[in-house]
């Protein structure tokens, strides 16, 4: 089947290569020439485990190519829209100009019977409005909404083995046509019995924002418990283990620490609140404001904790920050809690050195005022405190004995509750973490 994928960022590039892996003939289109040049040479423009290998393999089959020219999307049976929907500057709402622009460009090449499939995360009501636009400007072409649930760091696996498929379909015979096309796209995934939910547009759009709101709420719930643990001397990690054994609750997404960041959860809960407001239903989502508040408070608490261990002042203190990406196995620094904390520490007079296995280049571009190091050892040289803010495997596996010989003061702040507290304290470190007693 001929497929086009519009927007080749973290979502679209992986989707395009994965569709080629499934046997389809795919063209990926983006307005960013540098990104298209890099993808065409089988060089991943971002770090995502397994992606570059998949890219290389699928480009070599001849079934995948990339272009900046929308004319190359002509003749595809299905056109996936994967462009960004970032938070608007100074507002909570999503910036919809890229989705609007992509669909308008597609309209010029759409033929009757072709299907536009939205994958971007959008405010509920977007699909209905785009369907009207398509019906008006490209009669005979159809629209479906098929939200994406992949996690960065697991993007390839999640795209090829999703835990569910959601199809937001138009009513009547058009819905049957759209369903048949989507079933053909995902044939091997459908055939192995992957759960499939078919709905109207609004439900499909809301499934996505509801899922991310739930995940954000779960993280903020455990971080609120961490605040209480700090006040009572209880241990949030044990608490999470204990409540997580109840399979109605589950242990996943109960890792207390610095909270959520990235290009999805923070902006998606905010856009959801903004949309609820536009719909006159803002009361329904006021709890998300608290979810957001709890999340942001963790960053402030982390800086306070750093000041506390540095004898009450950060002025002139050398602080090593291990981790810049918003999560491990990614170079994505969008709304990164780690970088946010690093910048606050610097503002309070600390001499901050940041390191990350994959995200230093992106960080340097966005936060040029921070100082960067290539390795944790370099970052921690003569440090007064070491902060582990992204739980990369290589940081979890650091040898506290050897690492202790590099620093000036053996003080470690575990921002992700990821280190072995006993091993670090046994090696003479003062260990501090969010929601846990000092070790």
Ligand X SMILES: NC(=O)c1ccc[n+]([C@@H]2O[C@H](COP(=O)([O-])OP(=O)(O)OC[C@H]3O[C@@H](n4cnc5c(N)ncnc54)[C@H](O)[C@@H]3O)[C@@H](O)[C@H]2O)c1
Active site residues: 264
We find the least distance from the C-beta atom of residue 32 to ligand X, in angstroms, to be: 4
Q: How far is CA 255 from CA 73, 227, 244, 415, 434, in A?
A: 43, 13, 11, 11, 11
Q: Which is nearer to ligand X, 92 or 351 (CB)?
A: 92
Q: Please tell me whether residue 415 binds ligand UPG under the rule CB under 6 A.
A: no
For the stretch 118-147, what's the b/e string if a residue is b when 16 or more beta carbons lie within 10 angstroms of its beta carbon?
Answer: bbbbbbbebbbebbeebeeebeebbbbbbb
Q: Which is nearer to ligand UPG, 335 or 384 (CB)?
A: 335
Relative to beta strand 371-372, strand 196-199 is unpaired
Distance CA 305, CA 433 (A): 8
Q: What burial class does residue 394 get, using C-beta atoms within 10 Å of its C-beta: 0-12 exposed, 13-18 middle, 19+ buried?
A: exposed
Q: How far is CA 121 from CA 92, 118, 152, 390, 412, in A?
A: 14, 8, 15, 25, 38
SS3 87: strand
Binding mask 73-112 for ligand UPG (x = CB under 6 A): ----------------------------------------
Q: Which is nearer to ligand UPG, 138 or 204 (CB)?
A: 204
Question: Residues 262 to 281: which contact ligand X by CB under 6 A?
Answer: 263-264
Interface residue with ligand X, options 54, 55, 78, 83 (CB under 6 A) = 83
Distance CA 396, CA 387 (A): 12
Q: Which is nearer to ligand X, 27 or 303 (CB)?
A: 27
Question: Residues 237 to 256: which contact ligand UPG by CB under 6 A?
Answer: 253-255
Task: Give 157's strand partners.
Answer: none
Interface residue with ligand UPG, options 6, 26, 102, 215 (CB under 6 A) = 215
Binding mask 327-346 for ligand UPG (x = CB under 6 A): x-------------------
Q: Which is nearer to ligand UPG, 257 or 435 (CB)?
A: 257
Q: Please tell me whether residue 31 binds ligand X under the rule CB under 6 A.
A: yes
Candidate ranges 6-14, 182-190, 393-401, 431-439; the one touching ligand X (CB under 6 A): 6-14
Distance CA 333, CA 389 (A): 12
Q: Please tell me whether residue 80 binds ligand X under the rule CB under 6 A.
A: no
Q: How far is CA 216 from CA 213, 221, 240, 254, in A?
A: 5, 8, 16, 10
Binding mask 27-56 for ligand UPG (x = CB under 6 A): ------------------------------
Question: Residues 133 to 162: which contact ligand X by CB under 6 A?
Answer: 148, 150, 152
Residue 255 touches which of ligand UPG, ligand X, none (Cβ within 5-8 Å per kind): ligand UPG
Residue 3 touches which of ligand UPG, ligand X, none (Cβ within 5-8 Å per kind): none
Residues contacting residue 129 through CB under 8 Å, at least 6 positions apart: none
Number of residues that bind ligand UPG (CB under 6 A): 22
Q: Which is nearer to ligand X, 329 or 384 (CB)?
A: 329
Task: Give 371's strand partners.
Answer: 353
Residue 32 touches which of ligand UPG, ligand X, none (Cβ within 5-8 Å per kind): ligand X
Candidate ranges 37-45, 169-177, 262-270, 355-363; the one touching ligand UPG (CB under 6 A): 262-270
Using Cβ positions, the residue closest to ligand X within the complex turns out to be 9
Interface residue with ligand UPG, options 123, 261, 404, 435 (CB under 6 A) = 261
Candidate ranges 79-87, 252-260, 306-314, 394-402; the one touching ligand X (CB under 6 A): 79-87
SS3 357: coil
Q: Which is nearer to ligand UPG, 76 or 340 (CB)?
A: 340
Residues contacting residue 262 through CB under 8 Å, at least 6 positions apart: 152, 326, 327, 332, 334, 335, 336
Query: What does the DSSP 8-state code read for residue 358?
Result: S
Task: Give 141's strand partners.
Answer: none
Phi, psi (rounded to 5 degrees) for 335:
40, 50
Distance CA 390, CA 11 (A): 22
SS3 73: helix
Residue 7 touches which of ligand X, ligand UPG, none (Cβ within 5-8 Å per kind): ligand X
Interface residue with ligand X, options 2, 32, 199, 423 (CB under 6 A) = 32
Query: What does the DSSP 8-state code read for residue 282?
Result: G
Binding site for ligand X (CB under 6 A): 6-12, 29-32, 35, 82-85, 98, 101-102, 105, 120-121, 148, 150, 152, 263-264
Binding site for ligand UPG (CB under 6 A): 121, 148-152, 212, 215, 219, 253-255, 257, 259-262, 264-265, 268, 326-327
């Amino acid at each position: 089947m001929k497929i086009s994928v519009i927007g080749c960022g973290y979502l679209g590039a992986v989707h395009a290569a994965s569709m080629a892996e499934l046997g389809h003939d795919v063209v990926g289109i983006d307005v960013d020439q540098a990104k298209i040049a890099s993808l065409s040479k089988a060089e991943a423009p971002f770090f995502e485990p397994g992606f570059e290998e998949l890219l290389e393999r699928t480009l070599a089959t001849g079934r995948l190519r990339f272009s900046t020219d929308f004319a190359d999307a002509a003749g595809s049976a299905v056109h996936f829209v994967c462009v960004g929907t970032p938070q608007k500057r100074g507002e909570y709402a999503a910036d919809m100009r890229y989705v609007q622009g992509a669909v308008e460009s597609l309209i010029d090449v759409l033929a009757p019977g072709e299907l536009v499939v939205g994958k971007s995360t959008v405010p509920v009501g977007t699909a209905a409005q785009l369907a009207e636009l398509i019906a008006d400007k490209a009669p005979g072409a159809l629209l479906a909404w098929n939200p994406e649930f992949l996690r960065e760091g697991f993007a390839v696996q999640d795209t090829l083995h999703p835990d569910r498929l959601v199809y937001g379909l138009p009513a009547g015979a058009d819905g049957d046509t759209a369903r048949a096309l989507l079933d053909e796209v995902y044939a091997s995934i459908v055939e192995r019995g992957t759960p499939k939910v078919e709905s109207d547009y609004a439900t499909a759009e809301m499934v996505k924002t509801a899922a991310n709101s739930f995940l954000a709420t779960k993280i903020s719930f455990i971080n609120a418990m961490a605040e209480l643990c700090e006040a009572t001397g209880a241990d949030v990690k044990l608490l999470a283990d204990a409540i997580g054994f109840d399979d109605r609750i589950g242990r996943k997404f109960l890792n207390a620490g610095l909270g959520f960041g990235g290009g999805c959860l923070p902006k998606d809960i905010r856009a959801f609140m903004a949309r609820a407001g536009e719909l006159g239903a803002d009361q329904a989502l006021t709890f998300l404001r608290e979810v957001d508040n709890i999340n942001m408070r963790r960053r402030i608490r982390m800086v306070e904790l750093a000041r506390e261990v540095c004898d009450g002042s950060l002025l002139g203190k050398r602080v090593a920050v291990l981790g810049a990406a918003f999560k491990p196995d990614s170079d994505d620094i969008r709304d990164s809690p780690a970088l946010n904390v690093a910048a606050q520490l610097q503002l309070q007079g600390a001499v901050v050195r940041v390191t990350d296995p994959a995200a230093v280049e992106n960080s340097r571009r966005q936060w040029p005022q921070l100082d960067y190091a290539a390795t944790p050892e370099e970052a921690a040289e003569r440090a007064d405190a070491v902060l582990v803010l992204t739980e990369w495997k290589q940081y979890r596996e650091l040898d506290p004995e050897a690492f202790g010989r590099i620093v000036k003061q053996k003080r470690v702040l575990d921002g992700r509750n990821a280190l072995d507290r006993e091993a670090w304290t046994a090696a003479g470190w003062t260990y501090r973490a969010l929601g846990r007693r000092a070790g």
